[in-house]
Amino acid sequence: MATDATDLFTEMFRGQAQQVTSLFGQLVPAEGTPEAETAVQWAEIASRMHSIWTEFQVEQLGKAKGTPHYADPMKWIATAEAVVRQLPFSDPQIQQRLWGEAVDLVNGVLGQYGLGPRAGLKQDNGEAQPELPRSDRRFADPEWRRQPFFAVLHQLYLLFADEVTRMAGAVEGLEPAKKAQLMFAARAVVDALSPANFPLTNPVALEAASRTKGESLVRGFENMLDDMRKGQLTHTRPGAFVLGENIAVTPGKVVFETPLYQLIQYTPTTDKVLKTPLLIFPPWINRFYILDLNAKKSFVRWAVEQGVTVFMVSWKSADAGMAGVVWDDYIAAQVEAIDHVRERLGVPSVHTIGYCVAGTTLAATLAVLARKGEADKVASATFFTAQVDFEEAGDLKNFVDDQQIETLGKLSPEGYLDGRYLAATFNILRGNDLIWSYVEKNYLKGEEYPAFDLLHWNGDVTNLPAGWHRDYLRDLYRDNRLVVADSMQACGVPIDLHRIATPVYIQAGSEDHIAPPQSVWKLTHYLAGPWTFLLAGSGHIAGVVNPPSSNKYQYWVNDARPDTLGAFIEGAHEHPGSWWPHWAEWLRALDSAEIPARGKRRPGGRGDKVIEDAPGRYVATR
């Protein structure tokens, strides 16, 4: 068996040598041959890359502040070692089984190419690609099957990846939280080790370099160094979007501001509007314009077109001056914004929306108002993918043990947490989609970045008050205190979610990996008033930002009041398309009274003193 394997790997490496020679062998052609001109081109490529690297090193002199924790390769190596130590790779039986499976896989794959002991497997299919036993969209390009070396390489990798994740799932004797961390780390490690992520093991990148005579290497190298300069992975074309010009463009005015937030009121487009206005609280982990990307995708514009007076909070990105900001301040800010809208328009109450962490905070705000006897200030509360019970909070719980929380303190010497750390954390949750696919496209192949508004928003990071963020991870994610009556306090009173009698609409995403639907569902367990639950197709963003005009996805509703999410799904009715109209009908059913869109319903009109045009200054603060 060993002899066969040696012969097989000899054939594999011969193929690899041929591929590399086709790319780099032109650097030293025989003098006087036609390849000499090409050699000059490759020498220029090498010289340009050396100059670019030298300039980058000179530029970075005196700037060094140490490698960020999330970008330190030694931390990733340590993570990989920690994973491997917990898996039984040293077990002789497992080693023998893996060796047998690997050799069998290699023999079977190479047999498709007429190589090795199973060469007879090759069929005369003309130009048809070999039929390989394992598939993965990362290796869908025909280049991965054109040569036997790369076919075997990615097939062995997929075998290894399956085995590592299987072993991690089979480890016994760990606490559930530690087991989940091990499985998450195992997936992250095997994703990072994909041969698609390295230039000499990625045939698509090698082909691009050969075809462009090295220009793709230069572009990719420049892309990588640009990201190293800013300490963040780029997902979309720099400069493609400008706030207020082609993104966040729904007309409106900033009508109020504090050191923590600006309040935007949008200009109505209908002659009459609902008497009760809508106040939206977006998460301060990201910029508010996820709900106002462009005219076709904007929830804000759509709601305005439905005759709703819409207000939006634009949170300020934290700086050193906000080091003392805590959760109380965000809850107090929500109460303040509610009161300001009520006073400005002369209405007794407002409809509210809380998205993600701002929804968690909105639940606390409702509990505080109920405790103070002021619950009638809020006519309704809608929760977009928001959690209050964090027992099943998904993969983010892998970042909230004592060690991770302690690390946050080291990352925040000035009292605020750099938003690039949070961006990296969320990217890791979907590493193949948000990290490694861009490494391949933009670093290895040197492709141009797309002009994609959602990806632009995703990379437009915000800083967070470090103390508050640590408290949030410890008290809510780790210790799950919010659902324990009177365990936490805000604005001088204890928080008890069971006091919330406000009509509530709860939206969850069926594929949400940040706020899993089974976690969002649990909000229904703590409400004293009427509630409606809706399960939307897709995830944390697309499940929310799904305008009717797109005709995408679906949603499920169940008019009964089931006790579990499973029972909800079992008895639910599926509806195609956007769930936004369902929400609008629910809102109007609460109170359909309308008034003319006059006076302060049109911000910035005669006698109405406003601060500036939407989207305001705070959304542009870095």
User: Residues with catalytic annotation?
Assistant: 356
Using CA atoms, how far residue 534 sits from 213, 268, 380, 500, 539, in Å, is 54, 28, 16, 19, 13
Give 381's Cβ-side CA count (13 Å radius): 34
Determine phi and psi for 416, rounding to 5 degrees.
-135, 150
Count Cβ atoms within 10 A of the Cβ of residue 174 and give its class: 0-12 exposed, 13-18 middle, 19 or more buried. middle
Burial state string for 59-86 with b = 16 or more CB within 10 A and e = fewer than 16: eeeeeeeeeeebbeeeeeeeebeebeeb
Give the separation between CA 276 and CA 197, rounded to whole angstroms. 53
Between 2-24 and 148-170, two packed helices, what is the crossing angle to 10 degrees?
Answer: 120
Count Cβ atoms within 10 A of the Cβ of residue 169 and give its class: 0-12 exposed, 13-18 middle, 19 or more buried. exposed
Strand-pair category, 573-576 with 261-266: unpaired
3-class secondary-structure state, position 494? strand
Give the separation between CA 164 and CA 176, rounded to whole angstroms. 18
Q: Are 163 and 83 in contact (CB under 8 A)?
A: no
Amino acid code (one letter) for 515:
A
Determine phi and psi for 18, rounding to 5 degrees.
-65, -40
Using CA atoms, how far residue 109 sits from 115, 118, 310, in Å, is 9, 9, 60
Q: Which of 405, 402, 409, 364 lies closest to 383 in space, CA to CA?
A: 364
Contacts of residue 282, Cβ cutoff 8 Å, sequence gap at least 6: 288, 290, 291, 312, 313, 314, 315, 355, 358
Give the separation between CA 70 and CA 355, rounded to whole angstroms. 26
Question: Within 10 Å of residue 524's Cβ, how many Cβ atoms?
Answer: 19
Structure tokens at 21: 């020679």
Q: Nearest 5°: CA angle at 595, between 592 and 598? A: 150
Helix (H) or strand (E) holding 506: strand 504-509
Structure tokens at 510: 């069926």
Q: Which residue has the tokens 């905070």?
A: 361
